[in-house]
Structure 1
Amino acid sequence: MKIFKRILLLILVVITITVVYNYPKLNMIAGYAAKNAASSVFVANRDLNFTTKTDNNFSPINLVESKVDETEKWASSNVFGLLSRKAFYREGLGTVLAIDEEDLNKTYLTPKRVLADNKTPYPYGNAPQKDTVFSNIDYQKINETLDILFDSVNQTRAAVVVYKNQIIAEKYAEGFDKNSKILGWSMTKSIVSTLFGILEHQQKIDVFKKANFEEWKNDERNEITIHNLLQMNSGLEWDENYEEISDVTKMLFLERDMTKSQIRKPLAGKPNESWYYSSGTTNLLSGILRNQFKTHQEYLDFWYADLIDKIGMNSMTIETDLAGNYVGSSYAWATPRDWAKLGLLYLNNGNWNGEQLFTKDWINYATEPTPTSNGWYGAQIWLNAGKRYPNVPENMYFFSGYQGQNVFVLPDEDLVVVRMGLTKNADVDALLSGIISSIKR
């Protein structure tokens, strides 16, 4: 009997130690599940069952039990009955994880939006595009190239190919269509960069000036420029690890104001000599954008009035943190067709239906390889300058997000290609080279 009691005590001690050690991780797991469930249901208009079986069906997120309240518009996720997190929806701002219960009852400023143009043909509006058949395109080959994406390995949800401003191929997985909003994850970073390009064109900002944060004024961080931050080449310390408790997971699941996370970090390298991917840097840039405006309302409106609604990305919602700042690192939802519009804006050198939002010089700047990035990164935009994709032109660049969300811009081919899915398994080189070879020049 004594031996049995000792074994039982040992088991209890082991369980207690395991729970205590992993408790912070449970916070992140429940937070991810609740946030994803709430956004999927209330932003993307999917149901919880679909979300549980797809978006939240991977380890360890699939250990969580989630529920939603359709009336109060919140989702909660519970891990083994040990810890629960709640995310709630705010009209115009998307969903956010609550830190305190009173967060659910606060009022929040919301951005002013314009009505969608449903009369003008795509891409400048949302009406059906004018029927155009290009004699130099092998449509069968393009469709066969896209078909490969839609299998159990690739798990693609949507693919759109736009040539000379016209959709020439489009395919969706079961349960998705042209009206489905999909989270772009880190493609949101490229939106942040674009907004700096717009402000520069409006002569309201100089990205080569110092960031000038009060917290940095008495140390070497004072030399960091907005340019360094845009290129993720500031030298600031940051741990971008989604598998563990890290800087990025603490920011996304525990912070009230995500623009502050990177500010607190010391230098771990030298500005302009230390490229390192950091979502904290992008949210810091969102904070810099906030500082360009006298009021928070102006900041909220700018993202939509000067870019998103301006180019008819009317399906898009960029979610904010509890402090009301856009989470520029991660949280933009839009239809694949609207994501393609952002690529077309770049393909057309910043000109949208006759209006210049930013210049070709900005594109040249944004797609200039960052020092020490091996030709892989520009200003919040990914590059092929290092020929990561050997059968794709070097001047191809793209917006990229978690699980293989991509908008590829191919200037020489007059192409924009969108691929959105649940994995990064898609063979990008084969996809793009296959599409290119389908077009005779």
Structure 2
Amino acid sequence: MKNLKRVLLALLVIIIVAVVYNYPKLNILAGYSAKSMASSIYVADRSLELTDTTDNNFSPINLADDTVNSVEKSATSSAFGLLTRKAFYREGLGAVLALEEEDLNKKYLAPKRALPDNTTPFPFGNAAQKDTVFNNVDYSKINTTLDVLFHPENKTRAAVVVYKNQIIAERYADGFTKNSKLLGWSMTKSIVSTLFGVLEHQDKINVENAAPFEAWKKDNRKEITIHNLLQMNSGLEWDEDYNTISDVSKMLFLERDMTRPQIDKPLVGKPNESWNYSSGTTNMLSGIIRKQFKTHQEYLDFWYTDLIDKIGMNSMIVETDLAGNYVGSSYAWATARDWSKLGLLYLNNGYWNGKELFNEDWVKYATKPTPTSNGWYGAQIWLNAGKRYPNVPESMYFFSGYQGQNVFIFPEQDLVVVRMGLSKNADVDVLLSGIIESIK
């Protein structure tokens, strides 16, 4: 009997140690599942069943149990019954994880949105585009290329090909349409960069200035410029690992104010000599944008009035954290067509339907390779200067997000290609080279 008690006590100790050790992981697991579920249902208008079997159907997130409250507009996820997290929806701001019960009852400012233009043809409005057939386009070859892209193993949800401002190919997976909002993940970073281009064009900011943080003025971080931050080349410490309890996972699922974590990090390298991909840096840049406005309402409105709604990306929702800051690293939702409009803005060198949002110099700046990035990165925009895709022109650049969200821009071909999915299985080099070969 004594031996049995010892064995049971030992097992109890092992279980307690295991729970304590894994508790932070359970927090992230449940947090991811709840946030994903709330956004999928209340932003993208999907069902719990679809979200569970698609977006949340990967290890270990599929171990969480999800429930929704349609009256409260919330989603709750449980990790083995040991820990629960709740995410809730706020009109105009998207979904966010609650850190305490009081968060659900607070009042939140929301951005003022423009009404969609449903009479002007795509791309400058949301009406059907004018019928255009290009004699130099092999439509059959493009469709064959998309056939490969939409093989089940590639998990592609949407693809849009825009040539000379006209959609020449478009396809959606079952259950998705041209009106389906899709999460861009880190493509949101390119929106943040673009806003700096808009601010600079409006003479409201100079990216060569030092980053505006009082705490940095007391040490070597005072040398870091906004330019360094835009290029992810500040030398600041940051761990961007989604498979562990890391800086990025703690920021996205445990922080109230996501603009803060990177500010508190020390230098571990030299500015302009230490490229390190960091979602914390992008959210810090969102905080710098906030500093340009006297009121929080002005900050919320600016993203839409001066960029998103201005180019007719009316489907887009950029979600905020609990402190009201746009999560510029990760959380923008829009239709595939609207994602293509951001690419077209760059393709047209900052002009949109005759109006200049930023000039060509910003495009050159944003697509100039960052030192020590091997030609892969510009200012929150990915590049092909390092020939990551060998059969694609070096001049191509792109917005990129988790699980293969991409907007590819081809300045020489007057072409934008959008691919949205649930994995990076698709062979991008084959896809893009096939589309380029379709245009003679």
TM category (shorter chain) comes to over 0.9
Give the aligned partner of residue 370 of structure 2: 370
1:290-327 deviations in whole A, cap 9, x for unaligned?
Answer: 00001110000000000000000000000000000000
| 1:345 counterpart letter in structure 2 | L
Distance in 1 (alpha carbons) for counterparts of 2:106 and 2:212: 32
Give the aligned partner of residue 81 of structure 1: 81
Give the aligned partner of residue 46 of structure 2: 46
How far is 1:81 from its partner? 0.6
Q: TM-score, normalised by structure 1?
A: 0.99
Give the aligned partner of residue 238 of structure 2: 238
Give the aligned partner of residue 90 of structure 2: 90
- Counterparts of 1:65-80 in structure 2 under 5 Å? 65-80=65-80
Q: TM-score, normalised by structure 2?
A: 0.99
Contiguous gaps of at least 5 residues in structure 1: none
Distance in 2 (alpha carbons) for counterparts of 1:141 and 1:433: 11
> What secondary structure sits across from 2:333 in the alignment?
strand
Q: Which is worse superposed, 35-44 or 210-219? A: 210-219
Give the aligned partner of residue 196 of structure 1: 196
How far is 1:248 from its partner? 0.5
2:15 maps to 1:15: yes
Give the aligned partner of residue 277 of structure 1: 277
How far is 1:147 from its partner? 1.1
Distance in 2 (alpha carbons) for counterparts of 1:147 and 1:198: 38
Pairwise CA RMSD: 0.7
| 1:90 counterpart letter in structure 2 | R
How far is 1:6 from its partner? 2.8
Give the aligned partner of residue 343 of structure 1: 343
Give the aligned partner of residue 324 of structure 2: 324
1:123-180 deviations in whole A, cap 9, x for unaligned?
Answer: 0000000000111111011011011111232100000000000000011111101000
Distance in 2 (alpha carbons) for counterparts of 1:17 and 1:204: 54
Contact 2:212 2:288 (8 Å CA) reproduced: no
2:412 maps to 1:412: yes
How far is 1:425 from its partner? 1.0
| 2:67 counterpart letter in structure 1 | K
> What secondary structure sits across from 2:430 in the alignment?
helix
| 1:297 counterpart letter in structure 2 | Q
Distance in 1 (alpha carbons) for counterparts of 2:112 and 2:291: 19
| 2:316 counterpart letter in structure 1 | M
| 2:201 counterpart letter in structure 1 | H
Distance in 2 (alpha carbons) for counterparts of 1:252 and 1:388: 29
How far is 1:5 from its partner? 3.0
Distance in 2 (alpha carbons) for counterparts of 1:291 and 1:425: 40
Distance in 2 (alpha carbons) for counterparts of 1:83 and 1:151: 38
Distance in 2 (alpha carbons) for counterparts of 1:172 and 1:379: 30
How far is 1:267 from its partner? 0.3
- Counterparts of 1:40-439 in structure 2 under 5 Å? 40-439=40-439
1:96-134 deviations in whole A, cap 9, x for unaligned?
Answer: 000010000000010000100000000000000000011
| 2:300 counterpart letter in structure 1 | L
Distance in 2 (alpha carbons) for counterparts of 1:57 and 1:10: 35
Distance in 2 (alpha carbons) for counterparts of 1:327 and 1:233: 20
Contiguous gaps of at least 5 residues in structure 2: none
Distance in 1 (alpha carbons) for counterparts of 2:397 and 2:14: 51
How far is 1:426 from its partner? 1.0
Give the aligned partner of residue 34 of structure 1: 34
| 1:100 counterpart letter in structure 2 | E
1:361-393 deviations in whole A, cap 9, x for unaligned?
Answer: 000000000000000000000000000100000
1:392-420 deviations in whole A, cap 9, x for unaligned?
Answer: 00010000000000000001111000000
> What secondary structure sits across from 1:88 in the alignment?
strand
Distance in 2 (alpha carbons) for counterparts of 1:236 and 1:408: 29
| 2:343 counterpart letter in structure 1 | G
Distance in 1 (alpha carbons) for counterparts of 2:409 and 2:326: 25
> What secondary structure sits across from 1:132 in the alignment?
coil
| 1:169 counterpart letter in structure 2 | A
How far is 1:14 from its partner? 1.5
1:232-277 deviations in whole A, cap 9, x for unaligned?
Answer: 0000000001111111011001111000110000001000000000
Contact 2:182 2:334 (8 Å CA) reproduced: yes
Distance in 1 (alpha carbons) for counterparts of 2:378 and 2:153: 30
Distance in 2 (alpha carbons) for counterparts of 1:57 and 1:2: 45
Distance in 1 (alpha carbons) for counterparts of 2:184 and 2:90: 19
Distance in 1 (alpha carbons) for counterparts of 2:234 and 2:147: 41
Distance in 1 (alpha carbons) for counterparts of 2:295 and 2:211: 19
Contact 2:210 2:222 (8 Å CA) reproduced: yes
> What secondary structure sits across from 1:68 in the alignment?
strand
